[in-house]
Amino acid sequence: MTRSPTSQKPKLRIILCAPRGFCAGVVRAIDVVERALQIYGPPVYVRHEIVHNKYVVESLKAKGAVFIEELSEAPAGSAPVIFSAHGVAKSVPEEALARRLFTIDATCPLVTKVHREAQVHFKRGRKIILIGHAGHPEVIGTMGQLPAGAIVLVSTIEEVAALTFEDESNLAYVTQTTLSVDDTRGIVDSLVRRFPKIIVPALEDICYATTNRQEAIKRAAPSVEAVIVVGSPNSSNSQRLAEVAQRAGCKISRLLPSASEIDWQMFGAIGSLAITAGASAPEILVEQVIDAFAERYDIAVETLTTTDETVFFPLPRALREKAALG
């Protein structure tokens, strides 16, 4: 990261939010691919983007990872097939087993927790409501843990109002892990008012990293003229960060995949800026954004820290054991 010397450049105060960037689940998922490449050699096949970030995906491609959307694209043989951090429907490992593919599951443990919650509710005969965004890989994976019709998806308070069940006394809900905390709270409140006997999660389903990054940007956004969220457009938690910043009082809030996407007509005349990054965005992209502003501004960077993160998820057992033997 570079800092421009005092010059005729306009001054720019930058608030760097912390925590930001990689969460423990993303670190684990990337480590799974890199460790598999080290142990087994390329190619290693990855079903869906391991995490939603183009820079990460391209970096892993350069090391020998091959990204596929369906198992049918993976050839028969001993090359590992890795399931992404977002999780997969039960039909995917079943198909892999039928084809005798060697698979490694990089699903984030917090997503696995939601899968297990849903399975427990189903075994106890409850109808399950999933709060999430249709089409997101995590939602597809969670709904795919159970037979069709066992889980009902809702995304808005209006959809909650339209719900009808034969037995309203035997309901439970779970949530996608990367949602807006505030949006989800409103939907949950509506569910609880509508169905007072609904079973709530023992622990918050929205992941700690999503919550922490949203809290940091909430604190920073009201005190700056603009916010940049570094992250990919298909990253749910990154999209939510940009929305949270705008709702917190910052009129200019943009999700940018890289420094090359900065709109200088929009950001060329500001005096203060907050920068954060989605949970799948590497720190190098944040540094490149700061460097881009340092070329045009006399920048002063300060860090706003709302909490320290110490969460760590170990690699899947098969990789740990193989590495120990190697």
Is 194's pLDDT higher than 80?
yes
* CA 286 from centre of chain: 17
Give the number of C-alpha atoms closer than 13 A to the C-alpha of residue 261, restricted to the C-beta side. Answer: 13
The residues, any chain, with a CB within 8 Å of residue 77's CB and separated by 6 or more, are none
Both structure tokens of 236: 């749910």
Query: What's the pLDDT score for residue 324?
Result: 56
Question: Residue for token digits 């604190």?
Answer: 219
Q: What is the mean pLDDT of residues 168-190?
A: 95
| Range 110-194: architecture per CATH | 3-Layer(aba) Sandwich (3.40)
Strand order in the sheet with 81-83: 65-68, 44-47, 81-83, 103-105
Q: How far is CA 197 from CA 101, 191, 321, in A?
A: 44, 10, 45
Which residues sit opposite 272 in a β-bridge?
13
Query: What's the pLDDT score for residue 8?
Result: 87
Angle (deg, nearest 10), helices 317-325 and 24-40: 40
- Distance CA(214)–CA(228), nearest Å, equals 13
In the chain, list all ranges with CATH 3.40.50.11270. Answer: 25-107
Q: What is the mean pLDDT of residues 234-257?
A: 96
Question: Among 102-106, 201-205, 308-312, which is the least confidently predicted range?
Answer: 201-205
Rounded to 5 degrees, φ, ψ at 171 are -120, 155
Q: Are 231 and 240 in contact (CB under 8 A)?
A: no
Both structure tokens of 207: 């992941």
In the chain, list all ranges with CATH 3.40.1010.20. Answer: 11-23+208-305, 110-194
Query: What's the pLDDT score for residue 5?
Result: 52
Mean pLDDT of the chain: 94
CATH number at 25-107: 3.40.50.11270
166 is an active site residue: no
Both structure tokens of 315: 């690699």
Is 316's pLDDT higher than 90?
yes
The residues, any chain, with a CB within 8 Å of residue 41's CB and separated by 6 or more, are 64
Q: Are 125 and 203 in contact (CB under 8 A)?
A: no
Tell me the per-residue pLDDT of 196-244, one tens digit each, with 9 for 90 and over: 999 999 778 899 999 999 999 999 999 999 999 999 999 999 999 999 9
Question: Residue for token digits 């098969």?
Answer: 318
Q: Are 34 and 319 in contact (CB under 8 A)?
A: no
Query: What's the pLDDT score for residue 20?
Result: 97
Given the residues 58, 69, 70, 138, the one annotated as active site: 138
CATH number at 11-23+208-305: 3.40.1010.20
